[in-house]
A = this chain, B = another copy of it.
Amino acid sequence: MVASVIKPTPNTDHDIKDLSLAPLGKQRIEWAGREMPVLRQVRDRFAQEKPLAGIRLAACCHVTTETANLAIALKVGGADAVLIASNPLSTQDDVAASLVVDQGIPVYAKKGEDAETYLRHVNIALDHRPNIIIDDGSDVVATLVKERQDQLSDIIGTTEETTTGIVRLRAMFKDGVLTFPAINVNDADTKHFFDNRYGTGQSTLDGIIRATNILLAGKNIVVVGYGWCGKGAALRARGMGANVIVTEVDPIRAIEAVMDGFRVMPMEQAAPLGDIFITVTGNKHVIRAEHFTVMKDGAMLANSGHFDIEIDLATLKDLSTSVTTVRNFTEEYRLPSGKSIIVLGEGRLINLAAAEGHPASVMDMSFANQALGCEYLIKQRGVLTPGLHPIPTEVDQEIARLKLQSMGIGIDTLTPEQVEYMNSWTSGT
């Protein structure tokens, strides 16, 4: 259980919507905590060992009940942490309130905040002069290396858990501006297997169903991109009875999708067939003017990639004679032809915009990776070179082991004879 003292007028600094939402937030944070047994065990150890003592930490994340459990674990571990929202639509205002009121963690996040506010929050995070940045899409790091070179000496490192952020960090490193270590949480097996595949898979469909209440069975669902997120979305869409079409640019992923039983084709062929489109590429404008014009009347577009640039909405708006909100998170763009295209969640991450983001049990492992990634940065300070580093395998395996334990599932262990066999090359013949 999360400890709590109600402080109606907290002296914790913040920029949030409504402090009075704290009780609801607290209840929901605790509910999520039930499904996060791995992070709970990490937090319990952190409470003993205080591995983050003396560390200033800035976290830029979706401000959800799961993130709250991470933030609490970091604080319990000794960190002086501030939290800003990585996405204007995903902030849960009650959670922000509870973190400020019940946990004394400074939070700067309001659901629906505009771009200017977001930028102000990024700068508040950097004003905190962090030693460690937990980033989500690499915006804080990008601002740091562009505008705050003077703070580079403060930095121990960063952790990053999105594909988008990893792509950007790689580009920064290539350009010579990433001068500190970055822990690639995204590629931890216990992160991308579960978060990207099972988490995104379920929550993307959840977002689409909450936004529209349509039946997925019998629909043609076009999944754009067959990375881990795309695999998850495609698998679950089929699991709900949809007929799934995959589009890709990578031939290996494309043939994998074929072998998994999906239809694969270029987007120009898929555009007129799809009833629902889900973009999960990490790239921009993967659905664009040439595709809008050939779509069915009533085709629905949803994005589950990190940024809201996968669908070229600006152009869609230009092409349209009207835009009408027909349900929450559901806007109808009317084209001159009379056909309409339905955009869900304004093209932002649909699972966060229209649903509640990933289920807690998924974020459990991702955020255990984040917390342990921070600890690793500190322990390896001075040892880790600038650039991207994977989560150590032992950490990854330990997280999986804790998760299995919490589910009451045992596995086998190698016998001594088997260990010897695996290390030998002479006994086969």
Contacts and interface: CB of A to CB of B under 8 A. Distances in A.
A400 B247 CA distance: 15
A411 B251 contact: yes
Contacts of A330: 31
A255 B379 CA distance: 28
Interface residues of A, number: 109
A243 B255 contact: no
Nearest to A356: B213
B252 A409 contact: no
A12 to B, nearest CB: 26
Contact of A138 (B240, B264, B414, B428): B428
Contacts of A283: 414, 418, 421-422
A218 interface: yes
Nearest to A256: B193
Contacts of A423: 171, 174
Interface string A281-306: 00111100000000000100000000
Interface stretch (A41-49, A95-103, A139-147): A139-147
A428 B255 contact: no
Contacts of A422: 167, 171, 283
Contact of A193 (B32, B194, B259, B400): B259
A249 B410 CA distance: 10
Interface stretch (A75-83, A148-156, A357-365, A367-375): A357-365
A168 B422 CA distance: 8
Interface in A249-268: 249-252, 254-256, 258-267
B241 A198 contact: yes
A62 to B, nearest CB: 14
B168 A428 contact: yes
A307 B260 contact: no
A238 interface: yes
Contacts of A213: 32, 355-356, 359-360
A206 interface: yes
Interface string A322-355: 0000110010000000000000000000000001
A218 B258 contact: yes
Contacts of A356: 213
A215 B240 contact: no
Contacts of A265: 409-411
Contacts of A216: 202
Contacts of A250: 397, 411
A93 interface: no
Contact of A428 (B263, B286, B307, B401): B307
Contacts of A260: 217, 241
A161 interface: no
Interface in A113-157: 119, 122, 137-139, 142-143, 146
Given A27-B326, A218-B258, A265-B410, 5 more contacts: A137-B428, A213-B359, A249-B412, A264-B411, A285-B417
